Structure 1
Amino acid sequence: MKPDNREYYEKFDWERAKLDERLTEKINILVKSFPSDVIDVCDIGCGDGAITNKLNEHFDVVASDRSINALKFVETKKFCSSADNLPLKENSFDLIFSSEMIEHLPDDIFTNTIKEFKRVSSRYIYLTFPNDENVEKNFVKCPNCDFVFNKIYHLRNLNLKKIEKLFPEYEIIFQTPHGKLTKKYNKFFAKIKHTLVPSESWIPMRWTPDKRRSTMCPECNHSFEIPYKFNLLGFLIDSLNVIISPRIPYQQFVLLKKRNA
């Protein structure tokens, strides 16, 4: 598992990430599902604050991200920090919130981040993440150094069972899948495809449109547009996957409460 790349997040066009209808719907679900006794919230890995700024209308929110560029758009109290080493006291906040962040973390940072969430939260931890995602589905190969990686830097699969194992001292008090129905990708098919099909035929245009085909290699920092060239074998493998794999909502929301808290 390759460590993530800080430069990628500093170069990311955060100004482009606007509050759209789907994100507004997500925020509405979040606000309605927050426990009634929550007053203060710490949003870890807040990005540009699109969610943070709205949550701050309902709660006393402090935001954290390691990207200085992203924090420029955050309108709440904020600080720059890596999630695995938070400059906060134990039990500092009623609720720790983190949306679409933990799937990006390398193993060592991931493990320490979970520990930090538990340390800083006095009662609740609220997570959203890709719902049982097969990260291999969105593998690309760098044309400069041949390094293979997930195009949006997702490093791990997460689901409810894994969350329960990560947080045995917590109970799930709310969970719901949410978002656009997305076709899962069979791991065996993905392995065959990435072995036998040229890398320029891995990501069809129907999966990722032109405006979202930019990425940067975490190995050599080479920025490039993800190419696509039709390949019959790749097309057949994708078609078989359509037949056998289900569609599921893209995201999973999980609200955890500390036992005996």
Structure 2
Amino acid sequence: MRSRTNLAAAYREADRIDEAVSLGKQVVADSERYLGDLHPETWRARSDLAASYLKAEQTAEAVALLEQVASDAQHLLGDDHVDTWHARAALSAAYRAAGSIKEALTLGERVAADSGSLLGDYHPDTWRARSSLAASYLKAGRHADAINGLKQVGIRSEQLLGDLHPYTLRSRAALALALQEVGQAEEASKLEEQVLAAMAQTHGDRHASTLRACYDLLAPYGEAGRAGEGMTLLERFTADSERLLSDYARTREGHDVVSHSRR
């Protein structure tokens, strides 16, 4: 069953959502039949299916599954078990995706508070929990709480992972968005500039992540009265991407010609 769970996850990562959901349902049904409702593999299968439901925007189905997993983990393992903590963290994120912000905040604050004692302040899952809570704060319009939380996550990430680590860059991008929402366009622009420079350094100008960072910079530039600079950057990176796609198309065309000639 574990191999099929892994395959369903691979389908989900490849955006083959219908296949991920279909296979996930089969795995859950088989797990419940052969292992029972309270077996850890059944919980894992339900959580994985919930992740596929979320990607398919079937949030009600995801929430129902994760509520069941969290309840079972609490009753069987207790409040202070790390698996119960993980189940609650996933459920809080699902509540937010479903628009149940009050529930997301209530559970998210509990998860973030428990993360220090269960995992430690420097554990990556602690940072993820606090980032998730910040996202819920943003949804609830509590921008100051969100910004403070994201700043703390960013500091921890830089200290342990470095300036160029993907998690550090994601934290900066999230903080930039929060700052932009409260009208701090210059501060948001500076953070997005850091993200863009790091992406270009790590991946090169032509990488999709670099282009995405360039697009993310346009909005704060516009709000800061720097729209011209944003368009110049966009033209540069778009031109690079178009050249890359053109090169790929020519390579692919040549490959197809060779393939057909061999038939």
| TM-score for both structures, normalised by structure 2 | 0.27
Kindly indicate which of the two structures has a greater share of residues assigned to strand. 1
| TM-score for both structures, normalised by structure 1 | 0.27
Which has the greater radius of gyration? 2
Kindly indicate which of the two structures has a greater share of residues assigned to helix. 2
RCO comparison, higher one (Cα < 8 Å, 6+): 1
